[in-house]
Structure 1
Amino acid sequence: MIAFLGMGLLGSNFVKAMIKKGEQVQVWNRTPSKAKALEADGAKAFEDVAAAVKGAAVIHVTLKDDGTVNEVLAAASAGFEPGAVIIDHTTTSAEGAVQRTKDWKAKGFTYLHAPVFMGPSNALESTGIMLVSGDQEVIRQWEPALAKMTGRVINFGTEEGRAAGMKLTGNLFLITFTAGIADTLSLAKALHIPVEDLNTLFDTWNPGAGLPARLKRVASGNYEQASWELNMARKDTGLFMQAAAQAGTPLAVIPAIAKEMDRWIEKGYGSNDWTVIGKDAVS
């Protein structure tokens, strides 16, 4: 028997996929109607969280944050089976994941933090990426079951909380990447460039393909051999901001980057490769 706590878009689709694979799943959500809706798919819904985990050898969790996870698990614990395993897919702080692992172990339970890079459709189709770290024996035992939930499980080693940190780092990139797209669209709007033309450009030129090489370049600490000088990149950045300002189109990310470029130029790095702006992050 499996219990699943948190019936948002991700959790509910995880449950639907489990049921299709023949699993018996008991579900709970703070808003009972969301759990009740899954009874049409074959789940058994509970309004009381402690009742929802009774008889379950493993309890999956997809909630909001550290505080919510702590609150819900504390309330559910009255119904835990001896030796139950808690697998938490919530995006939380690394510190919270470490502390929960320690606290639940002291109480006789296994807690494994397994955040994911996947959307609701991935959860339904059992595709995507799941991250784990910590006790390798626990991971070896549960990795086959976790692999059924997702396309790939990445093990980041023995350090508790590393998976949580990797999830946060990945989310930071997604947020900055999306903000960059928003600024790109804003500049295109200012220059009267239709989205279709952007699609034509990026269908041919895929800057994302260069991400691994760019990461290595920034992290190398070697910026003297420039492929794009910081002074020139800053000049282009000024053109972006000028065009947007003239059109009354706001840019969210580029002005902050321009300030960082100016800081490094003032320190004498203008003729270095522009990736020098990442120097403090790796030194």
Structure 2
Amino acid sequence: MTHHSPDRTPLSLLGLGVMGTALARAWLAAGHPVTVWNRTPARAEALAAEGATVADTAAGAVAANTLVVVCLLDDSSVGEVLAGTDLTGRDLVNLTTGTPAEARDRAAWAARRGARYLDGGIMAVPPMIGVPDSGAHVLYSGSRELLDRHGPTLAVAAGPTYVGEDPGFAALHDVALLSAMYGMFAGITHAFALVRHEDVDPVAFAPLLADWLVAMTPSVHDTAERLRSGDHTQDVVSTLAMQVAGTPTFLRTAEQQGVGTELLRPFFELMRRRLDGGGGAEGLTGLVDLLAR
């Protein structure tokens, strides 16, 4: 059983899915008194054995401590679970995945109920939670004062990164980062598909691919500078016109290798549209403005 430390902030945690359970265990291991609640009570049994206090109701969990953390399925679940609770004077930290608009609405909803609000986007998988130097961090937005007050407690689970007063910014940054991740995964998927049926060892190919992706990461900073300046032609070496001229080779190669082009064509079509609109001298950053219509 975990022994609580008297100098550790007590908190309540609502939601004991895989992520919620990992959060609870991190705080318990650090000596924080933790009150937990879950729709399915059986999920709390193991945590009770580790020192958590189990509340019979969500309202009971909220009433137990000033700091209340929710990690539920979605925004609708947050509204349903907290509907019958008294949030007056509570510090509500919402680690439920949602959209920027949902976070802004939830912040206003919490304020009407007398609670201070902080929204969070968890940039980690459960095994990383509470593990020093794992790289886990949580993006926070909303009340800076609230993050300053509870930062040491929240940092036990994962390093806090503040992204702004707008309550929707954590969710916005979260989805933006994950969208880039999925774009990378799409490229990795296509690359491995191209070599899949050749005499190419995927394990031997992997370092070449990984090193190439790392070498391309400075383009993130180049893109940011061009977007800030508004000049999409700044220091461009490979123009959009040059790149569009080369896209048929990628498509023919895929077809000859028996690989679908579903992951490439949408991006190539955007490139063609920007070119047709007069962006031939630009790099690829003009596509950002094309998408952000």
Normalising by the residue count of structure 1, what TM-score does the alignment of the two structures yield? 0.86
- 1:137 matched to 2:145? The reply is yes
Structure 1 segments unaligned to the other structure (5+ residues): none
Q: State percent identity of aligned pairs.
A: 26
Structure 2 CA distance, aligned partners of 1:278 and 1:124?
A: 36
Structure-2 change in CA distance of 1:202 and 1:245 (3 Å): closer
Q: Secondary structure at the match of 2:238?
A: coil
Partner of 1:57: 66
Shift of 1:10: 1.5
Partner of 2:43: 34
Q: Secondary structure at the match of 1:125?
A: coil
Q: Secondary structure at the match of 1:116?
A: strand
Listed as ranges, the matches of 1:262-277 within 5 Å are 262-277=272-287
Structure-2 change in CA distance of 1:230 and 1:208 (3 Å): closer
- 1:214 matched to 2:231? The reply is no
Structure-2 change in CA distance of 1:251 and 1:6 (3 Å): farther
Shift of 1:51: 3.1
Q: Which structure dedicates a bigger proportion of its chain to helix?
A: 1
Structure 2 CA distance, aligned partners of 1:10 and 1:273?
A: 40
Partner of 1:25: 34
Partner of 2:78: 69
Structure 1 CA distance, aligned partners of 2:149 and 2:173?
A: 22
Listed as ranges, the matches of 1:191-210 within 5 Å are 193-202=200-209, 204-205=211-212, 206-207=214-215, 209-210=217-218
Normalising by the residue count of structure 2, what TM-score does the alignment of the two structures yield? 0.83
Determine if contact 1:61/1:87 at 8 Å carries over to the other structure.
yes
Q: Secondary structure at the match of 2:196?
A: helix
Listed as ranges, the matches of 1:108-119 within 5 Å are 108-119=114-125
Partner of 2:89: 83
Structure 1 CA distance, aligned partners of 2:260 and 2:69?
A: 42
Q: Which amino acid aligns with 1:64?
A: L
Determine if contact 2:30/2:156 at 8 Å carries over to the other structure.
no
Q: Which moved more, 1:18-27 or 1:226-235?
A: 226-235
Partner of 2:7: none
Listed as ranges, the matches of 1:225-236 within 5 Å are 225-236=235-246
Match of residue 243, structure 1, among 238, 253, 256:
253
Partner of 1:177: 184
Structure 2 CA distance, aligned partners of 1:109 and 1:274?
A: 44
Structure-2 change in CA distance of 1:167 and 1:235 (3 Å): same
- 1:155 matched to 2:162? The reply is yes
Structure 2 segments unaligned to the other structure (5+ residues): 1-9
Match of residue 108, structure 2, among 102, 118, 137:
102
Shift of 1:203: 5.1
Match of residue 258, structure 1, among 237, 248, 268:
268
Q: Secondary structure at the match of 2:130?
A: helix
Structure 2 CA distance, aligned partners of 1:104 and 1:279?
A: 35
Over aligned residue pairs, what C-alpha RMSD do you find? 2.6
Q: What are the superposed Cα offsets for residues 148-192 of structure 1, whole Å, 9 maximum, x if unpaired?
A: 3213x2222322322222222222222222222212222232665
Partner of 2:6: none
Shift of 1:26: 2.0
What is the aligned length?
279
Runs (4 or more) in structure 1 with deviation over 4 Å come to none
